[in-house]
Amino acid sequence: MPDRSGGRAPAAQMAGSDQSFAIALMQHLVVPTFVLDAEGKVLIWNRACERLTGVPASEVIGTRDHGFAFYDEPRPCLADLIAEGRIEEIEGFYSAYDTDASSATLGFHVENWCRMPRAGTRLYLAVDAGPIYDEAGHLVAVVETLRDMTVQKEAQIQLEQLAAKDALTGLANRRAFDERLEAEWRRCQRGGQLLSIIMVDVDHFKTYNDTYGHPQGDTCLRSVASVLAGVAARTGDLVARYGGEEFVVVLPGTNSVGARVVAERIRAAIVALDMPHAASSAGKCVTVSLGVASADPAKLAAAALLAAADQALYAAKKLGRNRVEVAGELP
């Protein structure tokens, strides 16, 4: 019988051939890629994905157990959330979720730190995943691709840290202080906690610079900063260089009694440094004056608490310096 197809293979054969070619092509892609079926089982786990995760395809093909390749605790991947129709949960699982570039038809873009247990690495991955539907609109597969963005993310973090630090002392700078204070203020509001602020000023610092020179003045400020960082060491505590020779300490969950104890500890530790200051009227060595204020963030604005601490600092300087003064009762 003559071939009435004109030399062309049957449609089913063509479709099967195309599918095999697509699978083979995906296996050799340099981009780590895996594909889930509508039930969340792994259909494809390409070689780049094997290299990235350290998990061979033979361990995950036909299973739903691929999550262990990326995380050291049970949790879904982006493709799982799409396959299971849990789109509304995506933002809660990822540190960055691009809502502008994501949609149910075009796919979703997220970013996240992943600890690869098998590979023994911790990588920051950019993840793209999108659904594939048949002609009837039924989900048949979800494709997820991964890009290693660790170098770029670490560079970004370093730049952000540098931008938030005071170059001389290494403490948080004024901008970082303003941002952190606002965040701690809201957190204490939600938790019903008090928040305390200590304003710290190096006594007669201008005369110290005039007497010993600016390089020695810089050394003095770094020494004071080191003491402050050591005293306020709890998670949530913040020490910042507020400006010039002035510093500020934020103590969440601390009342005025506790804040005064911390302030006295700081004052005594600065004296113990025994840095000579012959031109000071407050003593023979470098000293600091401190103003303390505490309040309930639900009843007072952050600016008002800062102003109260500043007034207490002014009182400490007026009363002879090298002392701690606590603001009067605040809401």
Catalytic site residues? Answer: 245
90/96 Cα distance (integer angstroms):
10
Q: Are strands 324-326 and 288-295 parallel, antiparallel or unpaired?
A: parallel
Taking each helix axis as running N to C, give the angle between helix 302-318 and helix 174-191, from 0 to 180 degrees, rounded to the nearest 10.
120
Question: How far is residue 70 CA from its own chain's centroid?
Answer: 20
39/60 Cα distance (integer angstroms):
14
Tell me how crowded residue 16 is: count the other CB atoms within 10 A of its CB. 12
**Cα dihedral 15, 18, 20, 22 sign:** negative
If DSSP codes are grouped into helix, strand and coil, which group holds residue 152? helix
**Which of 189, 308, 326, 302 is CA-nearest to residue 253?**
189
